[in-house]
Structures are given as C-alpha cells and as structure tokens.
Copies of this chain bind each other. A is one copy, B any other.
Amino acid sequence: MELLRSPTVESGERFLETSLRDDRTVLIVGRCSVDYRGRAGSVLGEGERVVIVKPDGTLLVHQREKREPVNWNPPGCSARVTRDGERLQLVSTRSRPEEVLTVTFEDLMMVASFDLEDDEELQLVGTEEDLVRSVMERPDLIEEGFVPKEKNKSIKTGEIDLYGVDSEGRSVIIEFKRDRATSSAVWQLGRYLDEIGRKLDGEVRGIVAAPKITSGAKKILDDKGLEFVRVEEVPTRAGEGVVYDKGQRRIREFDGDRKGDGRG
C-alpha cells in the first residue's frame, strides 16, 4: 500500500502517474468537478467525492449517497493524469463508443494505491437459473405429470427457459422469473408461443412460473389464455441452497450456518 495525505498537486501527480502505470487500484478522496461526454453528457460541480480507478480501466466517482456512482467509465477504459494549471486532472477515455470522463481536482485529501490480491469469485445462489434447475429436478412443482424436455431451448428470436410436455401430451412453454413477474414476462412468453405455435400442430400451453405476479401482468396473461404457476422463491437459507459454478456443476451445498456471521 502507498498512501499520501493531503498531497500537493506535484506529489499527487507523481503518485498517480506511478500508480496508474503499475496498474494498481487507486483511491482518491478530494474536492473535484466532473465532466462526461459520450453516449450522453453531464457536468457535476465542485464537491468532495471518492474516486476509484481499477487496474481493468474502471473509473468510479462516488458521492456521499446512493449505490450508483454519479459518474463512471467501464472496464477497458484507460486513465491518465494531467495538469490543468494548478489543478490535477484524471482523464479516462474509451473508443467504441467514444467517451471521455474528466475529473478535475481542486483539492486532494488522500491518494492511495493498492495491489489487491484476489483470486476468489462470487458464488451466487437464488438466480432464475437456479429456479429452472429446481423445477427440472422436481417437475411436479409445476404440476402433476409435467415432463421437462429442454432447458434454454433456442428459437429464432430468443430462448425458452424451459420446454416440456404435460400429462396429456401437450407442449408446454415456461417462462421463469426469480422474483415478481411483470407484464414483460408475459410478453416474452407470448412471443415464444407465437413462434412455436406456428411450428407445432396442436395446442401449446404457456406458463409464467414465479413467486409472484403483478396485477397488470396477471390480467394480460388471463386475456391471452395463458397460465401462472406460483413457484417458491429459490432457497437462499441454511442448508437449503446449492451453489454451482458457471459450467453448472454443483460445487457444494450452500453453508447457511457459516461460523460467526454476526447475525443474532
């Protein structure tokens, strides 16, 4: 870790040049204004903020509120340090699309840089994919006699979450939502039915499977003669969850009783 408290413009500039050249993760806290021009454009007047520059080119400007950065540049960008008279500037650019983000510092409270060692990847459970998987393993969660046939079935215009057959041999198309299903889920389902319906003879059923559904979505669903099946939220608690890697091999049971997680 390298760190300077309230550096001068000169020392701050040297510090940042070195840090950026060496692809370190940089934290800057200071009074700055921000200018952005690209897909959209913005200006932000002077104020004290936290700026992060990551070795992958990401640049984040955080105000004292909100989860979202007020300005940013995504991975793949390149940042450099310049001077604007007596002020230090951080300029981050990318092409395709052409975007320029400029942070002009009036004052630096702190600059710091780190070589972060981190080989771990997030293991997440409770996604829509998990929901589909749980239905594959227990098809009766949809209805008695339902037989899943194909997951992520590719069609012309999109992918069907789950395709299967019901107890009477009718084709069933299921659109899953991990949380409340909105009207866009119904539209998606309808689109898939349009396309499949033309290919297949006979009746094709369409089902939205989710823990809940919005009132508007339910209405459209009814109008179209489609169905809603409530499925439990994907378990994320002690002992109930399962973690998979991206290749969808099961990694391990999700350990819900991790030692000392501070709750209670």
23 A-B pairs within 8 Å (CB atoms) are namely A29-B116, A35-B261, A37-B237, A39-B179, A40-B178, A41-B125, A41-B241, A42-B122, A42-B124, A47-B120, A48-B114, A48-B117, A48-B118, A56-B66, A58-B65, A65-B75, A85-B260, A87-B260, A102-B262, A102-B263, A104-B261, A110-B112, A184-B184
What string of 1s and 0s marks CB contacts (under 8 Å) between A177-220 and chain B?
A: 01100011001000100000000000000000000000010000
A258 within 8 A of B: yes
> Which of B40, B63, B116 has a CB less than 8 Å from the CB of A116?
B63
What string of 1s and 0s marks CB contacts (under 8 Å) between A87-117 and chain B?
A: 1010101000000101010000110101011
Q: How large is the interface on A (under 10, 10 to 19, 20 to 34, 35 or more residues)?
A: 35 or more
With contact pairs A40-B126, A116-B49, A254-B43 given, residues A67 and B71 touching in the complex (Cβ less than 8 Å): no
With contact pairs A3-B110, A58-B65 given, residues A71 and B122 touching in the complex (Cβ less than 8 Å): yes
Query: Which residues of the partner chain B approach A37 to less than 8 Å between Cβ atoms?
Result: 236-237, 256
Say yes or no: A60 contacts B67, CB within 8 Å.
Answer: yes
Q: Which residue of B lies closest to A87 (CB)?
A: B260
Residues of A within 8 A of B (CB): 1, 3, 5-6, 25, 27, 29, 31, 33, 35, 37-50, 52, 54-56, 58, 60, 62-67, 69-72, 74-75, 82, 84-85, 87, 89, 91, 93, 100, 102, 104, 109-110, 112, 114, 116-127, 157, 178-179, 183-184, 187, 191, 216, 234, 236-237, 241, 243, 254-256, 258-263
